[in-house]
Amino acid sequence: MIIDRYIAKSFVVALLWSLAALVSIYIITDIFNMLPTFVDRKVPLFRIIEFYLYETPSIITTIVMPVACLLACFLSIGSLSRNFEICAMRSAGIGLYRIYRLLFVLGIIITFAILFMDETLTPWANRRERDFRREKISGLPPRSVRRKNVYYMGRGQKFYHIDKVDGRKNLLEGVTVFEFTDNYKVKRRINANKAIYSDGWIFTDGIIVEFKEDGEKVSYFKELKAYDIEEKLEDFIKEARESEEMNFLELRRYINWLRHAGKDVTKEYVDLHTKISFPFMNLIIIFLGAPLAVRVRRSGFVLGFAISLSMSFVYWSLSQTTRAFGQTGDIPAWLAAWLPIIIFGMLGGVLLWNINR
Instruction: Give domain status of residue 244, yes or no.
Output: no
Q: Is the domain of 63 the same as that of 161?
A: no
pLDDT at 143 over 60: no
Cα distances (angstroms) measured from residue 115 to each of 110, 120, 250, 282: 9, 9, 15, 11
Q: Calculate the average pLDDT of the chain.
A: 83
| SS3 assignment for the chain | CHHHHHHHHHHHHHHHHHHHHHHHHHHHHHHHHHHHHHHHHCCCHHHHHHHHHHHHHHHHHHHHHHHHHHHHHHHHHHHHHHCCHHHHHHHCCCCHHHHHHHHHHHHHHHHHHHHHHHHCHHHHHHHHHHHHHHHHHCCCCCCCCEEEEEEEECCCCEEEEEEEEECCCCEEEEEEEEEECCCCCEEEEEEEEEEEECCCEEEEEEEEEEEECCEEEEEEEEEEEECCCCCCHHHHHCCCCCHHHCCHHHHHHHHHHHHHCCCCCHHHHHHHHHHHHHHHHHHHHHHHHHHHHHCHHHHCHHHHHHHHHHHHHHHHHHHHHHHHHHHCCCCCHHHHHHHHHHHHHHHHHHHHHCCCC
End position of a domain, from candidates 193, 220, 238: 238
Instruction: Give domain status of residue 265, yes or no.
Output: no
Residue 141's pLDDT band (boundaries 50, 70, 90)? low
- The confidence score (pLDDT) of residue 106 equals 92
Instruction: Give domain status of residue 98, yes or no.
Output: yes
Cα distances (angstroms) measured from residue 172 to each of 143, 157, 205, 213: 16, 20, 13, 32
| SS3 assignment for 309-348 | HHHHHHHHHHHHHHHHHHHCCCCCHHHHHHHHHHHHHHHH
Q: What average pLDDT does range 248-252 have in this prediction? A: 85
pTM for the full model? Answer: 0.73
Q: What average pLDDT does range 347-352 have in this prediction? A: 78
pLDDT in tens, 37-78: 888 888 888 889 999 999 999 999 988 898 888 888 888 887
Residue 200's pLDDT band (boundaries 50, 70, 90)? confident
- The confidence score (pLDDT) of residue 216 equals 86
Q: Is the domain of 190 the same as that of 211?
A: yes
* Structural contact between residues 61 and 117, judged by C-beta atoms closer than 8 angstroms: yes
Residue 322's pLDDT band (boundaries 50, 70, 90)? very high
Domain containing residue 191: 144-238
Instruction: Give domain status of residue 161, yes or no.
Output: yes
End position of a domain, from candidates 219, 238, 257: 238
Q: Is the domain of 333 the same as that of 223?
A: no
Q: Is the domain of 211 the same as that of 302?
A: no
- The confidence score (pLDDT) of residue 258 equals 74
Q: Is the domain of 125 the same as that of 274?
A: yes
- The confidence score (pLDDT) of residue 111 equals 94
- The confidence score (pLDDT) of residue 355 equals 63
End position of a domain, from candidates 187, 217, 238: 238
Say how far apart CA 294 and CA 298 lie, in whole Å: 9
pLDDT at 21 over 80: yes
What's the total number of domains in the chain?
A: 2
Q: Is the domain of 227 the same as that of 159?
A: yes
- The confidence score (pLDDT) of residue 353 equals 77
Q: What average pLDDT does range 137-141 have in this prediction? A: 69
Q: Is the domain of 110 the same as that of 163?
A: no
Instruction: Give domain status of residue 243, yes or no.
Output: no
- The confidence score (pLDDT) of residue 150 equals 85
Q: Is the domain of 40 the same as that of 124?
A: yes
Q: Is the domain of 219 the same as that of 318?
A: no
Instruction: Give domain status of residue 16, yes or no.
Output: yes
Q: Is the domain of 67 the same as that of 157?
A: no
pLDDT in tens, 147-165: 788 888 787 788 888 999 8
Instruction: Give domain status of residue 19, yes or no.
Output: yes
Say how far apart CA 77 and CA 99 lie, in whole Å: 9
pLDDT in tens, 339-348: 988 888 888 7
Give which of 349, 281, 347 is closest to 317, Cα–Cα. Answer: 281
Q: Is the domain of 127 the same as that of 160?
A: no
Q: What average pLDDT does range 90-118 have in this prediction? A: 84
- The confidence score (pLDDT) of residue 295 equals 66
Instruction: Give domain status of residue 258, yes or no.
Output: no
Q: Is the domain of 40 the same as that of 97?
A: yes
